Chain A
Amino acid sequence: MDTQEFIKNFANQFEDTDASEITMETSFRDLDEWDSLVALAILNMIAKKYGVKLTFDDMRQTNTVQELFNVVESKK
């Protein structure tokens, strides 16, 4: 899995947050725009682009983009 590609796909689910604000170290829950709708979109993106179906609970265990990336990679 490519980290830059993952960051791009992740950032693409935000409407008002600039992609440059998002790195592997970003604690995404701290972003102003973060809410359950963005979470839904990200889960959906992960299912579509990476073929991994995560639940809200899986996501709740992660705080940074890197941690989410690791979960996706471990389930691929």
Chain B
Amino acid sequence: MKAYIKALSYYLPEQILTNEELVKEFPEWSVEKIAGKIGVTQRHIAAPDETAGDMAVKAANKMIEEYGIDRTEIDFIVLCTQSPDYFLPSTACVIQHALNIPTTCGAFDINLGCSGYEYGLAIAKGFVVSGIAKNVLLLTAETYTKHLHPKDKGNRTIFGDAATATLVSDNGFAEIGELSLGTDGSGADHLIHKSGAFRQYSPMNDLTFDENDNPHSSDYLYMNGKAIFDFTSEAVPVMVDDTLSKNNLTLDDVDLVVFHQANKYMINYLRKLLDIDKEKFYIFLENVGNTVSSTIPIALCEAKKEGRLCGKVLVAGFGVGLSYGATILYCE
């Protein structure tokens, strides 16, 4: 038994944050230069009362409509999010009801960020191949912008909100190949939102500003850019090699490479490090920004629309955790 992606759609919230608006907020900062470098001109922002669960439902309904999926045939829901609606229950349970999917459907959340789509594919593939489920609805949804301090100009330039829906089944347009997964928890502190859960339940109110006027606070998302950059340039080449060897392929056999769209400069750095042809390297973040676990499925959607989702497609995610995962999609 093999597992395939059968349907794929995404949803973007209505509100758009443009570079012009960021320039107005941070006139002393070179927004245009930085935004150009990271390749983002606008990002979508979830409304104050719009949650990751709400967005995931919209993405799922869009997929169901676009592909004519019978919702009674969905027998498992996996939601990947780090901005869940509640501590408990799992947002995936709420989504089962909202989508009117039969109660015979299993559901749970997984808490991962930029590597989440590959882990979701791993779970969905495992369930389909083992017969635990026939049609797994894999959802990714993040409202990372709600984790950000309003004065965090760097991260506000990078991140956008989005949700995606993928149906994994025993037939479809992209077979999920062998996976390579990895974790380095020693780097957990490098990308973290410390307070709010039970290690530190109450806000710490420890806001400080560094020499570049960047806010640092345990009550908002913190990213150590240098540490993440270094981790990525160490882990990704090793993971790509492992993925290729598990699939008995070389880089030359790969038709398209879709990395987690962290930022344009960094993924181009990885592209050069790995000697990947520019023509084979897919970039889609200009109008959406870094949408965490949604960047890869959004890019796959767009590549499909452009007719570029063909042959062997290498997908690789990496980031918060620190966590990383990759696979090959064998496309029609």
Chain A positions near chain B (C-beta within 8 angstroms): 12-13, 15, 33, 35-37, 40-41, 43-44, 47-48, 56
Contact = CB atoms under 8 A, between A and B. Distances in A.
Interface in B1-58: 33-34, 37-38
Contacts of B195: none
A56 B225 CA distance: 12
Interface stretch (B71-79, B226-234, B310-318): B226-234
A44 B230 contact: yes
A40 B229 contact: yes
A48 B232 CA distance: 13
B269 A41 contact: yes
Contacts of A40: 225-226, 229
B233 A37 contact: no
Contacts, number: 29
Band of interface residues on B: 10 to 19
B9 to A, nearest CB: 32
Given A35-B37, A37-B266, A44-B269, 15 more contacts: A12-B272, A13-B269, A15-B37, A33-B37, A35-B33, A35-B34, A37-B37, A37-B38, A37-B265, A40-B225, A41-B229, A41-B265, A43-B226, A44-B230, A47-B230
Interface of B: 33-34, 37-38, 225-226, 229-230, 233, 263, 265-266, 268-269, 272
